[in-house]
A and B are shown apart, each in its own frame.
Chain A
Amino acid sequence: MAPISTKKTVLIVLTVAMIFVLVGVFVLSFSFETLDKQAGKLGAEEKPVYKAPFADYNIPGLDNTWGALIVGVGGTLLLLVMGLVVAKIVRRRKS
């Protein structure tokens, strides 16, 4: 089987990424990690040294679900661009 084109690869991977975002926002959104459970039992608290603009994957003033959806889609596209830019810089520097 001949390899598929880069365009098709981009389309397939981004479609899967968007499905992950949708599942993450609408189905598997509840987060309670082990370390949070342990910290809760001990009374240990988060002490943020910085206020993130989209804390907890939400957009201030927007409904949590819609905020998470926008942040998820936007974050995925932003990371695509960042990953590409860094990869191109690495490629150019080494060639």
Chain B
Amino acid sequence: MHIPDGYLTPYVFIPAFAITIIFWAICLKKVKLTEKQVPIMGLLTALFFAAMMMNWPVVGGTTAHLLGGASMGLILGPFAGGISVTIILVLQAFLFGDGGLTTLGANVLNMGIIGVLVPCAIFLVLNKLVGTKGNKLYAIIFVSAFAGDLLAAVAAGTELGLSQPVFQYGLNVAIPAMALNHSIIGVGEGIITMILVGTLLKLRPDVLQQSPILKRLSFFQNKEEAKE
């Protein structure tokens, strides 16, 4: 999903940069990490860089990769998660030429902002609406992660569709094409996020308990009540 230089017009990549800079300013102001979250942020940043190296076949001979935004957003919180994804994208652009420099703002907007904030927001809404008892927890994690990938792809499709005359297809072709292919990797993202959160819930509940998003789980709130 990394958009290279030359695919977007300045009318698209300049506003994307502006949104990204505002997001970064908010992130740096709002982000909070506990001592236990520090190593987890480093580990997740490394893990999802490695995960992005796997190109999964989707449809029509094309491939797609995991984004990691849902996992990082849910486990670290939206601001620390956004910073982690941005670190990966900046390094990929400067060292490996994966994603352009003029399009870095758009790539951060798609994968580091939409790909992180959407899963967090959907998780919080579904947590309130349906709760997280039993398998419902995994269902809402899956839906949140899937939606994050899908909307990140829709955003990328919108940017490409608006970049006329480079992408003459326009929005009506660019958005469905990106959304269809990335909805398939969205299923993978949902499964990986479920496995990762489920594993941490068993092995490192102390870390998840400090997540601004997952600390709202009834699992932790019941424990807090029992302590009181």
Contacts and interface: CB of A to CB of B under 8 A. Distances in A.
Interface in B44-68: 44-47, 49-51, 53-58, 60-65
B51 A87 contact: no
Interface in A3-55: 3-4, 6, 9-10, 12-14, 16-18, 20-21, 23-25, 27-39, 42, 44-55
A52 B39 CA distance: 29
Contacts of B57: 28, 30
Interface stretch (B84-92, B125-133, B143-151): B84-92
B86 to A, nearest CB: 10
Interface in B166-220: 166-169, 173-174, 177-178, 181-182, 202-207
B217 to A, nearest CB: 16
A86 B41 contact: yes
B204 A48 contact: no
Contact of B7 (A3, A46, A78): A46
Interface size class of A (residues with CB under 8 A): 35 or more
Given A49-B5, A51-B97, A55-B96, A83 B44 contact: yes
Contact of A91 (B28, B33, B98): B33
A62 interface: no
A44 B62 contact: no
A55 B33 CA distance: 33
Interface of B: 1-7, 28, 31-47, 49-51, 53-58, 60-65, 80, 83-84, 87-88, 91, 93-98, 100-102, 156, 160, 166-169, 173-174, 177-178, 181-182, 202-207
Given A3-B203, A31-B63, 7 more contacts: A30-B63, A34-B178, A38-B177, A54-B95, A56-B98, A77-B46, A91-B35
19 contacts: A13-B44, A17-B50, A20-B53, A27-B54, A35-B3, A35-B160, A38-B173, A49-B102, A50-B94, A68-B53, A72-B53, A75-B91, A80-B46, A81-B42, A83-B41, A83-B42, A83-B43, A83-B84, A86-B87
